[in-house]
């Protein structure tokens, strides 16, 4: 069996045209020829050269964590480092903050609960539960796998995690049998261009329950709480225990009362964060995280009994806030590779299939790359591509770590792929984000000499309340959206949506698919940056 070991080499691409559809216009991307594949056999990880050192990755790690401070909602702590931000949404959850005429629509809550805190998902001022829970899971997983490399940033990473896990705990425990999954009426919010400190759009509160199920968002919340419980197990055992118990309770709600939050909440969550993949992937993902956190055999039994109908054997080739199938396989494969749990052996093969799909020239390759070498998965309008780059890079590095634990490899057809190959492939993608790309610019704000300056972000683009204390209204804010000037407030560490299929990036605030940052782009990057900062 030949061994594939990729060096830092960008093979000549051949044109590949995806199948057109009415909703997805044709994008010209690139795959790789079999001839190229065999050339790569001779290249080794030791031949890798990079413009970036461990110090650069440490700087990127620091900034990727700092970004989360710019996304904070609620009462800011005294050690807030992004000083242009101020307190916001201090009445979230209060019944007095919800317009009475909306109480019968879309499961709006008038319960009067404390939902202050958490994160704004991207460049707007809504707290969307599904991407926030996913962000929390990925921050926790980053710390679990690569926290030892974070050194002086570990406490900051844990602070970023706790900001969201505290909020999710509130959302899950405020009312028995209920999970609060969103704060903010999205349409009015998106019509305004207001900094969060000024926002006066309705702060409607939306929930799922037995009567109005949301298995997808509830199971992802369970995964987030369980993963966070692992992080805090040693430093705060009481908090860790509460996180895990709440995770189990929320998972029971998700599993017993099955249904998609897309159906329960309708246009409140669509087209913003529709659950396109359904909820089965989150149920298996949630069970996998609770099993890892608790080692409770009942969750292993659940996985064994339900995996085949919840996507365990679906070979899908993306990982995002919506679709968890690929990552669940990698997470469960650890049980076989590292912990020798025979019942989980099948997840090793399916993880191999996913990992091999990312390797250019592999017999199993499904990935498409831009001429400049960026993994390109973007589908449809309004989606950022770099979210797929950071999630896939994280999985490559995590799987490499698992394989390294026992000298294993991934099987790509008749060939073996080493952990070094996976690391090299991930490094290419991370380096692309940081500036090794045809535009010669970093797609992380504040990293390097050239980076996006007109990002699609309300708080960053509107003058800070410290510089402009007078309120800037909904309509008045549009002058800053439409301005050609750089954003006055630098959202350090923000990773934007990224370039198009031809590696072009226009740095236009109005082009939100390219210029908008999001917490779920950064969260997996934290783990990847931590890995390379220690190597």
The catalytic residue positions are: 456, 507, 516
In whole angstroms, what is the distance from residue 513 CA to residue 383 CA? 5
φ, ψ at 15 (rounded to 5°): -70, 140
Note whether 499 and 439 are within 8 A (CB).
yes
Q: Provide the Cα torsion 172, 175, 179, 180; round to 10°.
A: -100
User: CA Rg, the chain, in Å?
Assistant: 22
Helices (H), 338-437: 345-357, 386-404, 419-434
Tell me the residue length of the chain. Answer: 535
Give the single-character DSSP code of 464.
Answer: P
CA 277 to each of CA 251, 260, 262, 351, 405: distance values in angstroms, whole numbers, following the listed order: 18, 10, 11, 19, 32
- Look-up of token digits 């608790």: 294
In whole angstroms, what is the distance from residue 394 CA to residue 405 CA? 17
| Partners of 15 in beta bridges | 30
In whole angstroms, what is the distance from residue 362 CA to residue 426 CA? 15
What contacts 92, CB < 8 A, 6 or more positions away? 73, 74, 115, 116, 117, 127, 183, 203, 205
Helix, strand, coil percentages in the chain from 3-state DSSP, rounded to 5: 45, 5, 45
Give the single-character DSSP code of 205.
Answer: E
Q: How many CB atoms lie within 10 A of CB 414?
A: 8
Note whether 117 and 373 are within 8 A (CB).
no
CA-nearest of 296, 301, 295, 330 to 316 is: 330
- Look-up of token digits 């997470």: 331
Torsional class of 214: left (φ above 0), alpha (ψ -120 to 50), beta (otherwise): beta
- What is the end-to-end Cα distance of the chain in Å, rounded? 29
CA-nearest of 289, 313, 314 to 302 is: 289
In whole angstroms, what is the distance from residue 531 CA to residue 61 CA? 9
Give the single-character DSSP code of 181.
Answer: E
Q: How many CB atoms lie within 10 A of CB 50?
A: 15
In whole angstroms, what is the distance from residue 325 CA to residue 347 CA? 11
What six digits make up the tokens of 308? Answer: 């085949």
């Amino acid at each position: 069996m030949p061994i594939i070991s990729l060096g830092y080499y960008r093979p000549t691409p051949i044109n590949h045209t995806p199948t057109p559809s009415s909703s997805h216009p044709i994008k010209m991307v690139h795959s790789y020829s079999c001839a190229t594949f065999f050339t790569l056999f001779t290249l080794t990880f030791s031949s890798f050269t990079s413009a970036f050192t461990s110090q650069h990755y440490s700087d990127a790690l620091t900034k990727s964590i700092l970004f989360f401070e710019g996304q904070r909602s609620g009462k800011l702590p005294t050690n807030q480092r992004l000083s242009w931000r101020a307190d916001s949404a201090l009445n979230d959850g209060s019944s007095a903050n919800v317009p009475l005429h909306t109480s019968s629509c879309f499961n709006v809550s008038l319960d009067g609960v404390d939902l202050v805190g958490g994160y704004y998902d991207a460049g707007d001022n809504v707290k969307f539960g599904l991407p926030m829970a996913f962000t929390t899971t990925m921050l926790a997983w980053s710390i679990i796998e690569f926290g030892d490399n974070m050194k002086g940033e570990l406490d900051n990473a844990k602070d970023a995690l706790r900001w969201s896990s505290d909020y999710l705990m509130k959302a899950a425990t405020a009312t028995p049998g209920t999970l609060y999954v969103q704060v903010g009426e999205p349409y009015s919010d998106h019509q305004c261009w207001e900094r969060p400190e000024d926002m006066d759009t309705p702060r409607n509160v939306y929930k799922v329950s037995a009567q109005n199920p949301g298995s997808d968002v509830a199971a992802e919340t369970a995964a987030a709480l369980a993963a966070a419980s692992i992080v805090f197990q040693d430093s705060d055992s009481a908090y860790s225990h509460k996180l895990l118990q709440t995770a189990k309770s929320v998972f029971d709600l998700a599993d017993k009362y099955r249904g998609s939050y897309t159906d329960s909440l309708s246009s409140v969550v669509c087209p913003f964060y529709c659950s396109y993949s359904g909820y089965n992937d989150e149920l298996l993902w949630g069970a996998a995280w609770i099993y890892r956190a608790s080692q409770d055999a009942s969750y292993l039994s659940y996985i064994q009994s339900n995996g085949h109908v919840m996507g365990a054997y679906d070979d899908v080739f993306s990982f995002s806030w919506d679709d968890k199938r690929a990552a669940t396989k990698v997470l469960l494969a650890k049980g076989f590779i590292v912990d020798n749990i025979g019942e989980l052996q099948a997840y090793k093969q399916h993880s191999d299939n996913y990992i091999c799909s990312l390797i250019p020239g592999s017999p199993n390759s499904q990935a498409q790359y831009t001429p400049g070498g960026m993994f390109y998965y973007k589908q449809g309008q309004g989606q950022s591509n770099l979210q797929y780059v950071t999630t896939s890079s994280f999985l490559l590095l995590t799987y490499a770590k698992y394989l390294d634990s026992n000298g294993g490899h991934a099987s790509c057809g008749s060939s073996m792929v080493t952990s070094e190959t996976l690391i090299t492939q991930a490094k290419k993608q991370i380096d692309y984000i940081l500036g090794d790309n045809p535009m010669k610019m970093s797609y992380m704000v504040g990293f390097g000499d050239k980076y996006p300056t007109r990002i699609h972000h309300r708080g960053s683009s509107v003058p800070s309340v410290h510089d402009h204390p007078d309120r800037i209204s909904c309509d008045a804010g549009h002058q800053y959206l439409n301005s050609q000037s750089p954003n006055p407030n630098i959202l350090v560490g923000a990773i934007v949506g990224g370039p198009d299929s031809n590696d072009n990036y226009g740095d236009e605030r109005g082009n939100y698919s390219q210029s908008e940052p999001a917490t779920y782009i950064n969260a997996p990057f934290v783990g990847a940056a931590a890995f390379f900062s220690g190597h």
